[in-house]
Chains A and B, each alone.
Chain A
Amino acid sequence: MSEGLNFEGWSCPLPLRDHPNIVMGHGGGGKLSAELVEHLFLPAFADSGAVDMGDAALIAVGGAHLAFSTDSFVVRPLFFPGGNIGELAVNGTINDIAMRGAQPLVLSAGFILEEGLPLDQLAAIAHSMGVAARRAGVTLVAGDTKVVDRGHGDGVYINTSGFGIVPEGIDIGPTRAQPGDAIIVSGTIGDHGIAILSVREGLEFGATVESDTAPLNGLVADLLDETRNIHVLRDPTRGGVASALNEIARASQVGIVIDERNLPVQDAVRAACELLGMDPLYVANEGKLIAIAPASDAERLLARMRAHPLGRQAAIIGRVTADHPGLVAARTGIGGTRIVDMMVGEQLPRIC
């Protein structure tokens, strides 16, 4: 299988040569994931035509633009505080489509089921997928089911794909951040990642943290109703807010400065991160978005966000600058400055 790979031509001399096999970090949303896409998938796919690095691809059909996206969900455990893999799969693809300013219309769902999975669990997952789709106003129109031998999966893997139509005059994408823009986050960060960690590893942090999984298309519609002058929307899932901002800084060739004091973080999430030596900036979210828009529109957008149930704790967390293009910096709580870099792989709990 490896004869089709040519490691020599890679621009970065070391990346995957260190890892001739896939390691967990390749799925972590950090540098390893990006390298896999850039160096393995893109060269292989380039001949087939459209390849888009954004969460959703834009496809011109007639006079309209479709935003098209696909995502796979492999979460353990299948049920967690605040949700389950089913609603996560529906909301995740809805959000990817919504981050291009499109209103999602239809979804497909592909299931890979492990032999032995209790049917009542699958029924509960399917039911919550239906509820999530109706809540977001999208229709599940196609599906597929495969079963693998016991021991070859974690119960259920779900892939969802879907598309929506981008309204006329909307141009939202990761390359459009401009110096002077404000950066707004729609609520507390890190909730989903800590919720999953707490149940998966049996850790208790004093208070139950629930996943924030939610469809963001309604919030996006409200924001676009307020102003169409939004440059970037992004749901900071794997890799968290830090990775999302790094990708935007690189794609737009701008610098980003955030103020750590303005980051909304639940106390329980902060405590869990302190305990584990993790940084909430890198922890996954499933129901939050980052909006980047001209500073002159920021207060209006913030007010509109806070009026929406999914944006009550929204905050302006920073700004886009022409300095240090491609880099994200943070003003620290005591007035210093630090770099907020991409994670290499996944965050690792520290030893002490």
Chain B
Amino acid sequence: MKYLDEYRDPDLAQRLFAEIRRITTRPWAIMEVCGGQTHSIIRNGIDQLLPEAIELIHGPGCPVCVTPLEIIDKALAIASRPNVIFCSFGDMLRVPGSAKDLFRVKSEGGDVRVVYSPLDAVRLAQQHPDREVVFFGIGFETTAPANAMAVLQAHRLGLRNFSMLVSHVLVPPAISAIMESPTNRVQGFLAAGHVCSVMGTWQYRPLVERYHVPIVVTGFEPLDVLEGIRRVVLQLEAGRAELDNAYERAVRPEGNVAAQQVLSEVFEVTDRAWRGIGVIPQSGWRLRNAYRAYDAEARFAVGDIQTRESPICRSGEVLQGMLKPNQCPAFGKECTPRTPLGATMVSSEGACAAYYQYGRFIKAEEVGVAR
């Protein structure tokens, strides 16, 4: 397929593997920030073919995984209301809250709908003026512009029955949090290409300088990931720490300025809790005062939510790169995609789910996977 097969060419991949093997002289720990990259790595078997000295650490960049339990529980409470049409992207429906998930709310009579765009939710609000339509607005800088646009659209249309449960998170503060953690082992980053296509690359330069850590903006196809790894290793081996863009076909240094304008019109930066990690200062977006009328949390008064995480789930350590999914005692036993304890086992981009789905064959003997 044009524009895709080029980035999956097996011969080129083998050449990149050989080159990475050639330039690697000692162990390096590299974090791929984005869940889409984790997925690509495991789905294509990249981790098995890299030299042993290179350890890939899976970062917190799965929007489904890091959405805090409190927000999930608020979503469940809102979706359970009789007059609400609750709209969400598909992969949020199976994320476990304290007691249930959105699929269960749907089976109990809640009107939960999978949409493919936040604008679909705006359309539903137009079509059902007698119902409250709520959109679950989660994700990184990638999904935020479309969600901001939906709020603007609802505002322009004068819709009073549309609101958004907002839990947007930002990548650069998460990288800071990881680098400042006393247990950090990450020596280089593959930054998420999609995020940078919106926000540009300039936000990463201060991180490179402050922490003296190489950051290479990387795409999601196998060759993109391999090229990103190659460039990080080149820097690490030479003792350099630079910002490098290996995804130039999609990412400009300034990013998508129009999208950034929409974002800053609708959202403002706020402290945000990350599931399994905790509160990271200035790491999220919330609706600005001018658009607070569209804030579902305020509209439905769901402030009293009591949350309860699984006591044996260690997804927080997985998200911070301190634990590989298959090193968790519950992996493949108490915790499977069928019976997820944490969000990292739910989302197709979650590190635990990626390991379970694609990596069990290789790791089965090591981890004693329940079949």
**A contact residues vs B (CB 8 Å cutoff):** 14-15, 18-19, 21-25, 31-32, 201, 203, 261, 267, 270-271, 274, 276-277, 324, 326-327, 329, 332-339, 341, 344-345, 348-352
CA A111 – CA B94 in complex, angstroms? 33
A-B contact count (CB 8 A): 126
Q: What chain A residues lie within 8 Å of B337 (beta carbons)?
A: 341, 344
Q: Which of A276, A326, A334, A335 contacts B371 (CB 8 A)?
A: A326
Query: What are 25 A-B residue pairs whose CB atoms fall within 8 Å in the complex?
Result: A21-B104, A24-B103, A24-B107, A25-B103, A32-B338, A267-B1, A270-B1, A327-B361, A327-B371, A329-B361, A332-B44, A333-B222, A335-B49, A336-B46, A338-B359, A339-B357, A344-B94, A344-B337, A344-B338, A348-B93, A348-B114, A349-B91, A351-B63, A351-B91, A352-B36
- Asked if B43 is at the interface of the complex by the 8 Å CB criterion, the answer is yes
Contact residues of B between 1 and 42, Cβ < 8 Å to A: 1, 4, 8, 10, 13-14, 36, 42
Contact residues of B between 42 and 58, Cβ < 8 Å to A: 42-46, 48-49
Most buried by B among A276, A327, A335: A335
- Asked if B242 is at the interface of the complex by the 8 Å CB criterion, the answer is no
Find out whether the CB atom of B139 lies under 8 angstroms from the CB atom of A351: yes
With both beta carbons as reference points, the residue of chain B lying nearest to A267 in the complex is identified as B1
Main secondary structure of the interface of A (DSSP, over half): loop
5 smallest CB-CB distances across A and B, nearest first, come from: A336-B45, A348-B90, A338-B358, A334-B13, A21-B107
- Asked if B80 is at the interface of the complex by the 8 Å CB criterion, the answer is no
Contact residues of B between 61 and 94, Cβ < 8 Å to A: 63-64, 89-94
With both beta carbons as reference points, the residue of chain A lying nearest to B363 in the complex is identified as A339
Q: Using a Cβ–Cβ cut-off of 8 Å, how many residues does chain B contribute to the interface with A? A: 51
**A261: min CB distance to chain B, Å:** 8
With both beta carbons as reference points, the residue of chain A lying nearest to B13 in the complex is identified as A334
Q: Which of A277, A332, A350 contacts B45 (CB 8 A)?
A: A332
Most buried by B among A18, A329, A350: A350
Q: Which of A14, A267, A332, A350 contacts B90 (CB 8 A)?
A: A350
Find out whether the CB atom of B194 lies under 8 angstroms from the CB atom of A352: yes
18 further interface pairs, Cβ-Cβ under 8 Å (given A335-B45, A336-B48, A349-B116): A19-B104, A21-B107, A24-B103, A270-B4, A274-B4, A327-B360, A327-B371, A332-B43, A333-B222, A336-B46, A337-B361, A337-B362, A338-B42, A339-B358, A341-B337, A349-B90, A351-B92, A352-B194
